[in-house]
Structure 1
Amino acid sequence: MGNKSKKELILFTLPALIMVSITIYLPFVISSYYSLTEWNGISKSAKFIGLQNFKTLFFNNSQFLNVLIFTGKYTFLFMLLSNVMALILATFLVQKIKTANILRGVFFVPYIMSMIIVGFIWKFIFSQGFARLFEITGWGFLNLSWLGNAHLAFYAVVFVGVWQQLGFYIVLYIAGLQAIPEDVMEAATVDGAGALSRFFRVKLPLLGPSITICLFMSLTNGLKVFDIILALTQGGPGGATYSATLDIYREAFQYNNYGLGSAKALVFFLIVLIMTQIVLTISRRNEVEV
């Protein structure tokens, strides 16, 4: 590579590096510093207290553990339902049916909507829409307090999250299914493999890259859930649907405890980093190349 090419490379990449540093790396470093301080976000200076925020977090703050447990349960169920349902629907939608393109659009529409708007829509449905349907049909599950019961609120939040994100994963799985060579499937059919055998022994292994992407995306989307919970339950009832991101937001911006909020954010970042690396490593080991 000549000197001119090197200069051009530096010239074109430098603006992107500066922007990434300003928007990601610099705030991360500043937040790491504030996690070692006691600061209300208003005073001019922050009081340095070392690791006291982390001691408080691990030994005197049981609520954060409950928040992490809820986030873990939500993420697991969100990942499971999103990927299983998306794969089933994608397998159906790649078939040669007249309404396939229309159905793809129908499933994808919720994904392009704002999550806050989706949350408010479903809050109205759970509180008033279901009540009206119960009067018409008499079905008992429609008369349940979906957002007022701690146990049911969890499943309501998961349902809305899956409903909103499902179209995105369907598109990814459709792309993976369409990339499988036809001659591979024809060879499996000639060898006498049935429909289920072709799916589990041929299609599923070859979908490894798509599965890896979908697992990674659903994991990160599940862990950072915020908007839907804020619109649906605001963490209620009784803090039963507090996610980690919502807890960090309230600690820093509502309770004006930026030091402890930054400590929570840093701990949560490390948890997300470890979990994503584990999922990516396991998924990539099971990928099969054509």
Structure 2
Amino acid sequence: MLKTLGRKWREKIEFGIFTLPVLICIAVAFYIPFAMTVRYSMTKWNGISKNPVFVGLDNFKQIFTGDTNFADSAWFTVKYAVLYIVLVNVLAILLAVVLDMKLKTTPWLRAAFFIPYILSLVIVGFIWKFIFMQGFNSLGESTGWSVFALSWLGTPGLAFISILLVSIWQSIGFYLVIYIAGLQSVPEDLKEAATVDGAGPMRKFFSITLPLLAPSITISVFMALTNSIKVFDVILSLTGGGPGGTTYSIAYDIYRDTFQNNLYGYGTAKALILFLAVLVVTILQLAFFKRREVEA
């Protein structure tokens, strides 16, 4: 009995010794900075002074009652997130179905769609900025098409569309890989049985393939949701928030207040609100899609 208790305690001590360094790293990298974020969100601080002024919940009151930039950036982020999630997942599923048909060019096409994802969104933004400003101008002069003469980065509506299209172009390869893996896990005998029963391609897709893609859809929607809510780098490099601040996302608004206006306490409060929003939306999304997976 004593030997058994001694062995159990020894195993617990060994487990604690091996896990303690990991817990310390997690605390230093996440929990301590998060606690400092909560603290600084209740202060008025310019990032330089040694003694931030405690203001309580005044920063949060200002954000929700008197900050029109935050409201506009939140609306921009919501529009962007909804369209990005829907379009990138629909296009990725359609492309995955086509590339899963064992075509001769399938390996090359997969590589072509995935290569943009390797590039940083900042680099992609600068590349497309050159295309929109110089490339489209040259194409307009050579073809005479009016679509190339539009101010894609100088008009609020077109600037929003430009950000959305560039983001989808850069990231669709990532979601494509997820859906191809999901399609390859669909049992072939189910498709063959459906064919024997007289089901057509559309019927097989919506009755067999799509329900069995539920785990892949859950992962892809989760990734698209978190990435779209935190969109920043493509805006920084492509439009810089213009024209006239109409393409400010929440993340870009936080960056502008914190690092350009030196409102570190105020920007930290906005960052905390963004964190809580991402957390709540993510939990709801995962719960909803997991329930749909069980039903499917």
Could you tell me the TM-score, scaled by structure 1's length?
Answer: 0.97
Where does residue 87 of structure 1 map in the other structure? 93
Where does residue 158 of structure 1 map in the other structure? 164
Alpha-carbon spacing, 1:11–1:145, altered in 2? closer, same or farther (3 Å):
same
Show the 5 A alignment for 1:183-262: 183-262=189-268
Q: Distance in 1 between matches of 2:44 and 2:223?
A: 34
Amino acid at match of 1:278: L
Q: Distance in 2 between matches of 1:289 and 1:184?
A: 18
Kindly indicate whether the alpha-carbon contact (under 8 Å) linking 1:206 and 1:289 is maintained by their aligned counterparts in 2: no
Tell me the CA shift for residue 5 of structure 1: 3.9
**Structure 1, gaps ≥5 residues long:** none
- What RMSD over aligned residues (CA atoms) do the two structures have, in Å? 1.4
Amino acid at match of 1:68: A
Q: What SS does the aligned partner of 2:70 have? A: helix
Confirm or deny that 1:180 pairs with 2:182.
no
Tell me the CA shift for residue 289 of structure 1: 8.4
Q: Distance in 2 between matches of 1:94 and 1:16?
A: 41
Q: Distance in 2 between matches of 1:105 and 1:31?
A: 41
Alpha-carbon spacing, 1:188–1:288, altered in 2? closer, same or farther (3 Å):
farther
Q: Distance in 2 between matches of 1:263 and 1:54?
A: 7
Choose the corresponding residue for 1:71, options 73, 77, 80: 77
Amino acid at match of 1:219: L
Identity of aligned residues (%): 54
Deviations 1:113-148 (A, max 9, x none): 011100000000000000111111111111100000
Runs of at least 4 residues of structure 1 off by over 6 A?
none
Kindly indicate whether the alpha-carbon contact (under 8 Å) linking 1:118 and 1:228 is maintained by their aligned counterparts in 2: yes
Q: Distance in 1 between matches of 2:295 and 2:79?
A: 33
Q: Distance in 2 between matches of 1:195 and 1:260?
A: 55
Deviations 1:42-82 (A, max 9, x none): 00111111111111111111210111000010111111111
Kindly indicate whether the alpha-carbon contact (under 8 Å) linking 2:69 and 2:253 is maintained by their aligned counterparts in 1: no
Choose the corresponding residue for 1:10, options 7, 10, 16: 16
Could you tell me the TM-score, scaled by structure 2's length?
Answer: 0.95
Kindly indicate whether the alpha-carbon contact (under 8 Å) linking 2:80 and 2:228 is maintained by their aligned counterparts in 1: yes
Tell me the CA shift for residue 16 of structure 1: 2.4
Choose the corresponding residue for 2:58, options 43, 52, 72: 52
How many corresponding residue pairs?
290
Where does residue 128 of structure 2 map in the other structure? 122
Q: Distance in 2 between matches of 1:195 and 1:288?
A: 25
The range that moved more, 211-220 or 133-142, is: 133-142
